[in-house]
A and B are shown apart, each in its own frame.
Chain A
Amino acid sequence: MESGIKHEDIVEATISAIKKAETELPDDVVACLEKAEQIESSEIARSHLQAILENIGIARRHSVPICQDTGIIILFVEIGRKLPPLPDLENALAEGVRKATVEVPLRPNVVHPLTRENSGDNTGKGLPDIKYSFNESEELRITAVPKGAGSENMSILKMLNPTEGDSIDRLVLETIRDAGGKPCPPVILGIGVGGSFDKAALLAKSALLEQVNDMDEKEHALLEKVNSLGVGPMGTGGDTTALAVHIMTAHCHTASLPVAINIQCWANRHATAVIGGEGKWNII
């Protein structure tokens, strides 16, 4: 059976999702930054937030990347089970990244881990980092998540003892203290609790894709504690250390308690291309 979705559709949709993610921050994140700027009491902190908002406006108007660290490209790909068979996704997605590198443009960030040789096109062994999942739809959804190194480098994974659940808050606060201004606060925190070593990290990263203001009581309480630290925007002090905290959980081994904290800078970039079974696509 021939699929209605062609190789070129996936390539083009990938380029468009990357372009949108790199140049336009989601509205919920911008609204959150605007609110922070209004309530921030530190003058230096407010000037950082004003610069951030001005920068977001320039990037959107001129359609240029928000940050020169255009990141490595992580792609969350959701495959509808009702779709006809698809062409080779890996190759189409990698081609999309290579073309986006020229068209957006993206900074060539991808190097061999040991020789540090730059591949020049933002792809390489294992990159783009593609995370597949399935749903019951007739759509292919490609969410482009450019992840910069400043915030990624400050992220942690810790295998706690199973009885140490109460110490998760301390772990989060100490991580934020140790990170200071390095991950470009105000940050968004994705926290993965449970699963396994790698599952916890994936949960933490997935949590960053949630709507920023969609927090439950526990997440709100932790956000308040984080903001009470006074790290502030760029680590120069202030009320706004984090914009949001999102926690995702999975069941885990009775002898285990993995906790991953994925830090995201204020530029919480992501955009999704939705491709229908006939190959037509749009960006949301």
Chain B
Amino acid sequence: MEYHLKTPLTIEDIESLRIGDVVYISGNIFTARDEAHKHILETPLENMPVDLEGAAIYHCGPLMQKNDAAEWEPVAAGPTTSARMSAMTPQLLEKHNVRVLIGKGGMDNVADSMKGKCVYLVYTGGCAALAVNSITKVCDVHWLDLGMPEAVWVLKIDKFGPLVVGIDTEGEDLFRNIREKVNENLERALR
């Protein structure tokens, strides 16, 4: 199935998505990787620079450049390895009603904490120039002192995708299923 979603998102928007489905997202998304996750977990709600209610978080450390008008423009903005954020994700989802995580490579042991709350979507890794085509505006940046890749960038996107559902709200995990098959194939290959 193919779905077109718009942020901010409700449970109803994401609950029918199933692993393997294709999704396109429009609206605002927030980039966050390792350091930003740490900051989000450490920051009291009243001091948060962004509202993550119904948000889509993009595991991405973009390459940005200032144009002649001194405004930020994206140069390259593909997904980073989501597994690095696995350990911090259950806490993040307890604290904020984030509905979508976007990244690449799969996540480890987060499917249970995402049940009924959030989905994980996969963008093709390395497709950083292609991703820029879907970014219509760099709205804001927070925590830039963490460095360009680790800051939280607020991006306006239009039909960002195709994104493949990797983990759904039922707790199904496409990567875990593939890994089980790979394990069987591995023993066969060595026979």
Interface residues of A (CB under 8 A from B): 44, 47-48, 51-52, 54-55, 58-59, 62, 64-70, 105-109, 111, 116, 118, 148-150, 153, 169-170, 173-174, 177, 180-184, 225, 228-237, 265-267
A231 to B183, CA, bound (A): 10
Q: Name the one of A62, A150, A173, A237 contacting B186, with C-beta atoms under 8 angstroms.
A: A173
A47 to B147, CA, bound (A): 33
**Interface-side segment among B10-18, B92-100, B110-118, B173-181:** B173-181
Contact B106 A182, beta carbon cutoff 8 Å: yes
A-B contact list, 30 entries, CB within 8 Å:
A44-B164, A47-B164, A59-B128, A62-B129, A65-B129, A67-B76, A67-B128, A69-B61, A108-B148, A118-B147, A148-B126, A150-B80, A150-B81, A150-B125, A173-B189, A174-B186, A180-B106, A180-B175, A180-B179, A181-B105, A181-B125, A182-B106, A183-B105, A225-B189, A225-B190, A230-B178, A234-B122, A235-B175, A236-B175, A266-B126
Residues of B within 8 A of A68 (CB): 60-63, 75-78, 128, 149
Interface residues of B (CB under 8 A from A): 20, 22, 35, 60-63, 65, 75-78, 80-81, 83, 104-106, 122, 124-130, 132-133, 147-149, 162, 164, 166, 174-175, 178-179, 181-183, 185-186, 188-190
Contact B174 A55, beta carbon cutoff 8 Å: no
A82 to B174, CA, bound (A): 57
Can you name the residue of chain A whose Cβ is closest to the Cβ of B75? A64
Q: Name the one of A108, A182, A184 contacting B126, with C-beta atoms under 8 angstroms.
A: A184
Residues of A within 8 A of B125 (CB): 150, 181, 184, 234, 265
Residues of B within 8 A of A228 (CB): 185, 188-189
Q: How many pairs, one residue from A and one from B, have CB atoms within 8 Å of each other in the complex?
A: 160
A229 to B127, CA, bound (A): 24
Contact B124 A230, beta carbon cutoff 8 Å: no
Residues of A within 8 A of B149 (CB): 68, 107-109
Closest chain-B Cβ to A273's Cβ sits at a distance in Å of 23
Query: Which 3 A-B pairs rank lowest in CB-CB distance, beginning with the nearest?
Result: A184-B125, A68-B76, A182-B105
Contact A229 B185, beta carbon cutoff 8 Å: yes
Q: Would A170 and B104 be within 8 Å (CB), given that A47-B162, A118-B147, A236-B166 are in contact?
A: no
Q: Name the one of A58, A174, A231, A266 contacting B178, with C-beta atoms under 8 angstroms.
A: A231
Known pairs A47-B22, A231-B182. 11 more at Cβ < 8 A?
A55-B128, A58-B133, A59-B128, A66-B128, A107-B62, A111-B147, A150-B104, A184-B105, A234-B164, A235-B178, A266-B126
Closest chain-A Cβ to B9's Cβ sits at a distance in Å of 22
Can you name the residue of chain B whose Cβ is closest to the Cβ of A120? B147
Contact B186 A153, beta carbon cutoff 8 Å: no
